[in-house]
Structure formats: structure tokens, C-alpha cells
Structure 1
Amino acid sequence: MADILRPPPSDLLDGAALFLDFDGTLVELAEAPDAIRVPGHLRPLLTRLSDRLGGCVAIVSGRAIADLDRHLGPVTLAMSGSHGLELRFADGRLAPLAASGALNAARGEIRRFAEETPGLLVEEKPASIALHFRGAPDRAPQARALFEALARRTGLSVQPGKMVLELRPAGANKGDALATLMGEPAFAGKRPVFVGDDLTDEHAFAAAAELGGAGILVGPARATAARWRLDDVAAVAAWLSNASGGLIA
């Protein structure tokens, strides 16, 4: 049952490969994607974790990789962006981008819809487009209707998240990104541990479990494929810091 999930043990990362969501896991959620505050301890913490785990640490986010780079700066970590549509290995290699030509016309309709209502925010990504409605929650039903209509017309898929909808090609997800990275030589034989907060992280929780690992849900208890749970971003930072053998500055 989701309501009895316990915090992960301190030795869970022994022999593990660590996969981390970004928003709501490493940084607090904000009203807009650009409004987040990246804690000063985060980059040193990620470096310590990578050293501790032999480089087997990856960021797996709904943000575009370029956006992650902008917020994190230069870090030598594998990264997946756009909910599995983008993948960059730790050595800089890029997997082919799963883009769709049908997306271009949809982008214009979504932008026009957002311009009609203050508080709606469009986030452009290389192979998808997202609409954040945290600032105008009353427009959620109309936004869902628009995205579902566009999906039917274009063959694209709707990816829901926390106060956000994303139109994207079908197929790839965060679980696929985790599985691909686990096929890399450096990750071979490791036990995957995925930490995330959103419904979009459920694919990765399931993929980690299938490969002999586990998921850690961040936030309130819910029905989930995760095995463990941490209360919030601060609890994630404290647990990771303890696992890395260091203290948060």
C-alpha cells in the first residue's frame, strides 16, 4: 500500500546506479519553469554522488537537456530530457532525437491558446511542447480538450503532469531512458534506483523494479510502483547527502 511506504535505507545506493528527476525532486516546484531556484549545494552533491557511484548517476527530466544545462552548469552526468525523447550519455554522445513533423502546426495553436489567458505559459522543447496552467488552473479543462483534439488530429500523445500538459511523439518515456542507460557498459551489473515525484516518473519506477532495482517516490503517498518514499525536496537532499558521505553546505 502506498500509505505505508518507508524512507529508503541509507545503504540503498551500495552497488546501485542512481537516476534523478529534477523538478520536485532536486529543486522545488515553481510557478514557471524559469522561476526555480537551484540550491547551492546541488552541483557539489551531484559530483560527490557520481564519484561515490563510479559515474553511474543520471538526470532524467521532463525539461529539455539544454534547459537542464542552463540551470545546472557543466556537470559530467548522463542526462535524459523531454520525458525520454532526448538522451545524452556521460561522454557527450547524443541519441537520435525522436521528433515529429506533425508538431509544428500544433505549436502554433497551443501558443495562440496561451496568449488568450494570462497565467498560461508555453514551454518549447526540441521534440515536444508543454503548456503550464499553474497560473490559470480554471483553464485546465479547456487546455485538456485542446491537447486531446490535437493528439487525435496529429497522432501525437498527451503527457499529463503536475499542472502541465505536454504534446509529444508517442513511444519514449522516462522508463525507456533508464533502460537505455542501464545498457551502457558503466551501468552494467548495477541496480537502478530512480527518485522522482510526478506521475511521469511511474514508468521509470516500473522500469527500475523490472531491472532488479527500486523507485523512491517524493511527496505525498499515492498509488505508485515505487518501493520507498521521501517527504519532499529537502528530504531527498538530506538522504542523498548522507548516501554520498558528505554534508549539505
Structure 2
Amino acid sequence: MTVLAPLLKAPGEALVALDFDGTLAPIVPDPTQARALPETAPVLRALAPKVRAIVIITGRPALLAVEYGGLADVPNLTVLGQYGLERWSAGSLQTPPEHPGVAEARAKLPLLLAKAPEGVSLEDKGHALAVHTRRAAEPEVALERLRSILEALAEKTGLAIEPGRLVLELRPPGMDKGKALTSFAEEVGAGSVLVAGDDLGDLAAFAAADALGLPAVKVCSGSAEVAALAEQADVVVDGPAGVVALLAELCEEIS
């Protein structure tokens, strides 16, 4: 029996919830260069009319996910950016005021990172600030060296720390991918859910999928960097190419 069977019983009620980086777009050293695989948008366009809704839940700003994915013309698509703080749908963006702690952290981070190892970079997401170590000579060592510094800054500014694949992100508390998924699933009246991710932040979405009490398929976009998500998944696929192939299979299986 296909792993997709729980969705195929009533595909028109299925919610397809996807992460972006590492799930639809390969992880790259420079996050500004990340792009969804070319086949992503065509597959989503074909799948969208056959399911209840497609939602992308990402730590990225919503507009960047739309741009980097080439997703502006995908019907029936909502993008929840910044872990659910932002919402894009049908060309319209809703975004909240900036948390005051983000501005304070933005002002202090350059000095705190002045002595960081070469290759450490700061990504300003507007509503969050991400410190990347992927381009450092020893990325894991650099990440651990910075962890206590960033945790102290987060505590002082009232922000939360979100760990990821060679990144630590300071963002407003109170929202995560699990809460975003739960709220959206209830909003659209989902009867089943497929949730796909690759990183630690997606654990909350996996837990939410279980807690919804609906038929669910949890998909891990596999990598050597994160094992915890694979342990919770119903199926592990080979990175973004595997995720897109599974979505194409779902589209073909729906009569």
C-alpha cells in the first residue's frame, strides 16, 4: 500500500503543507541564492486543483519564498512566512509590525559577531535575524561558539532562538510551524494532511499533524545534517527532488 493512501481516500479534503528551504529548494551556502527545483511550480500547479489547499510554512519572508520558488501563479496556494507571522495568498501579503526586540538585536549583532569565525554571516529577514555558519571553515564549531552569545541576546531582547541546519535564528516568540499548521488546517477544514520538512523547526509541524487527529503523512526531506526529523517521519525521501517526486506521484494517483 502506498504511503499516500491516507490522502487518497478523499483527496479533495487533503491539505499539503510544505517547508521551503531543504524541502522544495536545496540548501546552499548563501541563502539568497536558494531556489526551488524547476519542476516544483509545475507539479504544484497540477496538484493544487485536486486537493483542499497547499500551504508553504517557512522561516523565510513569505514574498521571498514566492519569488525564489516561482510560485506566484500557483492556484490554491498560501504561504505562511516567518513561521506563520506573515501570510501571502493570491498576490496579497499580510505582515505584522516588527517586534521591538528584533530592532534591538539588529543593532547589537554586528558588534557581537565582530570576532566570529570567518564565513559566519547574518541574514536579516525583517521579522527575524539568522546567523549562518555554513560557510565557516568549521561550521559546527562556529555554531556552538555562537550559541551561548545568541541565547543571551535572545533572552535580553525577548526573542526566541530557533536552531536549524548550521543556523541560529532570533525571532519573536509565540508562533511556530506547528501552530501555523494547526490554525490553517482548521481554517480550511482539512480532512487529511501531508506535511513535509527537513529541519528541526519542522518537528513542531509533525507533532501538530499528529495532534490534529486526521489521517496524516509526515515526509522528511532527508539529509545527513538532521536525524531527529527522520525518526518521526512516515517516509524519508532523497531531499527536495524526492519531495517533488512524491508530490508528482500524489497528483498522478488522484483520479
TM-score (normalizing by structure 2): 0.83
Aligned-residue offset at 1:80:
1.0
Contact 1:85–1:98 (8 Å) recurs in 2: no
Aligned to 1:199: 200
CA-based RMSD: 2.3
Aligned to 1:103: 102
Aligned to 2:189: 188
Compare the two structures and name the one with the higher helix fraction: 2
Which of 210, 215, 219 in structure 2 is aligned with 1:216?
A: 219
Residue 20 (structure 1) aligned with residue 23 (structure 2): no
Q: Which runs of 5+ in 1 are unaligned?
A: 1-6
Aligned to 1:66: 63
Q: Give the stretch that moved more between structures: 30-39 or 114-123.
A: 114-123
Q: Give the stretch that moved more between structures: 148-157 or 73-82.
A: 73-82
Size of the aligned set, in residue pairs, is: 236
Give the letter for the 2:109 counterpart.
I
Residue 143 (structure 1) aligned with residue 150 (structure 2): no
TM-score (normalizing by structure 1): 0.85
Give per-residue Cα distances to partners, 1:120-149, cap 9 Å, x unaligned.
121111311111111111322232122111
Residue 9 (structure 1) aligned with residue 16 (structure 2): no
Q: 2: CA distance between counterparts of 1:129 and 1:214?
A: 31
Contact 2:98–2:127 (8 Å) recurs in 1: yes
Give the letter for the 1:163 counterpart.
L
Which of 165, 169, 172 in structure 1 is aligned with 2:172?
A: 169
Q: Give the stretch that moved more between structures: 42-51 or 237-246.
A: 237-246
Residue 45 (structure 1) aligned with residue 52 (structure 2): no
Give the letter for the 1:197 counterpart.
D
Aligned-residue offset at 1:214:
3.6
Give per-residue Cα distances to partners, 1:196-224, cap 9 Å, x unaligned.
11010000001111112242122155464
Secondary structure of the residue that 2:182 maps to in structure 1?
helix
Give the letter for the 1:11 counterpart.
A
Aligned-residue offset at 1:225:
3.6
Residue 57 (structure 1) aligned with residue 60 (structure 2): no
Secondary structure of the residue that 2:100 maps to in structure 1?
coil
Residues 189 and 102 of structure 1, relative CA distance in 2, 3 Å threshold: closer
Residues 155 and 37 of structure 1, relative CA distance in 2, 3 Å threshold: closer
Q: Which runs of 5+ in 2 are unaligned?
A: none
Q: 1: CA distance between counterparts of 2:81 and 2:181?
A: 12
Residues 111 and 49 of structure 1, relative CA distance in 2, 3 Å threshold: farther
Aligned-residue offset at 1:112:
3.5
Q: Give the stretch that moved more between structures: 24-33 or 77-86.
A: 77-86
Contact 1:129–1:166 (8 Å) recurs in 2: yes
Contact 2:37–2:241 (8 Å) recurs in 1: no
Residues 128 and 18 of structure 1, relative CA distance in 2, 3 Å threshold: same
Give per-residue Cα distances to partners, 1:62-86, cap 9 Å, x unaligned.
1111211221231341011112222
